[in-house]
Amino acid sequence: MNKKLPALLMTAVLFAPFFFGVSLSDSQEEVATNATVTVKVFVDITMQLNQTGAGVDFGQLDPGQYGYSDNNNLTVEPTTNVDVDIWMRSSDFTHNSYTILAGNFSYSHDNSTWNSFTTGYVNWTQVSPMSPGDTTDVYYRVYIPPGQRAGTYTGTFYTLANESA
Amino acid sequence: MRRATTSFLFIIFFLSLSLAQEAPKYNFGTMQQGKNFYLHPGEEFEIPIYFYNVYGNRITHVIITPENVPEGWEVEINPEVHNQTLIVSGIRTTIQENIYVEPTNATGDLSSCQEIISRFDSPGKCLWNDNIKSYIPAKEVRIRVKVPENETLGSVHTLSVMARARWYDITGGISFSQERRFNYRIMVISESYYEYIVRTFDLGAFFVVHKWEIISVVSLGLLSLLGFVTYRLYKKVKSLESQKPRKGGR
């Protein structure tokens, strides 16, 4: 009896780490299943011109003079389900072979902080990001460079609205 | 009969006049369905984009251009770009577009929405919008993507599609355009599933994975050594005890 007890104790001590290790491993196991769901992205923007008839009209201007538009609105409609960043750019304006560069046109949300247009998109940081239901005022300004040839110049203002990063 | 026709023409005239007098609202609504796709080499796949106009009072003309098309991939837009003749404020003009989206109303009733869709001259769908709890009649454009047969498995590509909306009620001067970019992340995978484990020996990873087995083996070794030493000592003590002369012995 005296000889068997130390042998049993030794066996228990020897196998203890196995039992301990296995039980600890079991407690750390996790079962995970990957799942994805994609929510459809609605983006809906309205640009409202607060004047009837044709687009923005700066009227009759002389070289060296600024012209200002009326107040317009840009609205992120309630069907939109993401925040959106607003980016602005403009084409150069042309009349026959004459050009007014895009940089002579500006836009503003308060009629005092003006951002010059470029031909590439620039994030309109004063209004971005906009949430569904938000509306911002949009004012446009043009500067006619000295010596600019007379005529009616045409061009396009572009607005890019995309899901905010 | 003649009086009725005259009255009808009057109504149409005044309606169009009032619409022309109304301040323009240029609305451009879109719905992107899915951004991440898994395609296999040689696969053809169609991605829909939906366009709607429920807050505007002018027809939105949309032209769609693929961007960042990976080399060797085919991307087609359906409906294709085509010439469309318009008469704007009495002036005849021809433009290019994929689709036009006329102003419609969102409705809480699916059958009313489907009735609007049935009048579209290109495919459409009623989209449920949870924000306004209504169905939106939308026109569908499908982007067909074909992956080359020799595309590398596991490669990831970003395909973009730019949609430009324009309005043509401008009699001169400045016009407005809205643009929206749709980005898609496409991973090229094998057509059939397979998996194998690449085995490389990593001592650190081996220890982390098998730490309890290693601890057990080392413990076992140490305890065996301890047991062996204890046993030898025990035997030694026993043998010394047996060699001691007994008290009172002859």
Q: What kind of fold does domain B24-188 have according to CATH?
A: Immunoglobulin-like (2.60.40)
Whether A46 sits inside 8 A of B31 (CB atoms) is no
Q: How far apart are CA A38 and CA A79, in angstroms?
A: 17
Residue A116 belongs to a domain: yes
What pLDDT was estimated at residue A61? 86
Residue A135's domain is classified under what CATH number?
2.60.40
What pLDDT was estimated at residue B45? 94
**How many domains does chain A contain in total?**
1
What pLDDT was estimated at residue A22? 46
Residue A72 belongs to a domain: yes
Residue A152 belongs to a domain: yes
What pLDDT was estimated at residue A112? 93
Q: Tell me the sheet residues that pair with A86.
A: A161
* B243 token code pair: 């060699």
Residue-number span of the structural domain to which A80 is assigned: 45-163
What pLDDT was estimated at residue B192? 75
Q: Which member of A14, A56, A132 has the closest CB to residue B173?
A: A56
Whether A80 sits inside 8 A of B180 (CB atoms) is no
Q: How far apart are CA B104 and CA B135, in angstroms?
A: 11
Residue A133 belongs to a domain: yes
Q: Which member of B21, B178, B220 has the closest CB to residue A45?
A: B178
Per the CB < 8 A criterion, the answer to whether A154 and A96 are in contact is no
Q: Give A119 to chain B, closest Cα distance, Å.
A: 13
What pLDDT was estimated at residue A49? 84
Residue ranges per domain, chain B?
24-188, 203-241
* B61 token code pair: 């003309």
In chain A, what percentage of residues exceed pLDDT 70? 75
**Chain A neighbours among B 102-161 (CB < 8 Å)?**
106, 127, 129-132, 136
Mutating which of A42, A43, A71 best tests the B interface, going by the most B Cβ atoms within 10 A? A42
Whether B32 sits inside 8 A of A40 (CB atoms) is yes
**Longest distance between any two alpha carbons in chain A, whole Å:** 120
Tens-of-pLDDT digits for all 250 residues of chain B?
444 444 434 443 444 444 556 788 999 999 999 899 999 999 999 999 999 999 999 999 999 999 999 999 999 999 999 999 988 878 888 899 999 999 999 999 999 999 999 999 999 999 999 999 999 999 999 999 999 999 999 999 999 999 999 998 665 566 889 999 999 999 999 877 767 677 666 777 677 667 788 888 999 999 999 999 999 999 888 888 888 766 554 4
Q: Confirm whether the ipTM is greater than 0.90.
A: no
> Of A92, A105, A96, which Cα lies nearest the Cα of A144?
A105
Residue A64 belongs to a domain: yes
Q: Is the dihedral of CA A47, A50, A54, A57 positive or negative?
A: negative
* CA angle (B82, B100, A117) in 5-degree steps: 95
User: Hey, is A111 helix, strand or coil?
Assistant: coil
In chain A, what percentage of residues exceed pLDDT 90? 61
* CA angle (A59, A62, A68) in 5-degree steps: 40
What pLDDT was estimated at residue B246? 62
Per the CB < 8 A criterion, the answer to whether A42 and B25 are in contact is no
The verdict on B84 touching A (C-beta cutoff 8 Å) is no
- Average pLDDT for residues A99-108, to the nearest whole number? 97
The DSSP-derived string for chain B is -HHHHHHHHHHHHHHHHHHHHSPPEEEEEEEE--SEEEE-TT-EEEEEEEEE-SS-SS-EEEEEEEESPPTT-EEEEESPPEEEEEEETTEEEEEEESEEE-----BS-HHHHHHHHHT-SS-EEEEEETTTTEEEEEEEEEEEEE--TTPPTT-EEEEEEEEEEE-----SSEEEEEEEEEEEEEEE--SS----PPP---HHHHHHHTHHHHHHHHHHHHHHHHHHHHHHHHHHHHHHHHHSPPTT--
From A41-55, A135-149, B87-101, the region with the lowest mean pLDDT: A41-55
What pLDDT was estimated at residue B9? 40
Q: How far apart are CA A48 and CA A50, in angstroms?
A: 6
What pLDDT was estimated at residue A34? 66
User: B-chain residues within 8 Å CB-CB of A75?
Assistant: 55
* B30 token code pair: 């879109």
Q: Write the DSSP symbol of residue A110.
A: S
pTM of the full structure: 0.74
Please report, as a single letter, which amino acid is at residue B38: Y
Higher per-residue confidence, A57 vs B14: A57
Per the CB < 8 A criterion, the answer to whether A43 and A131 are in contact is no
Contacts of B89 by beta carbon, 8 Å cutoff, 6+ apart: B20, B169, B171
Residues shown for chain B: 250
Residue A150 belongs to a domain: yes
Q: How far apart are CA B85 and CA A90, in angstroms?
A: 26
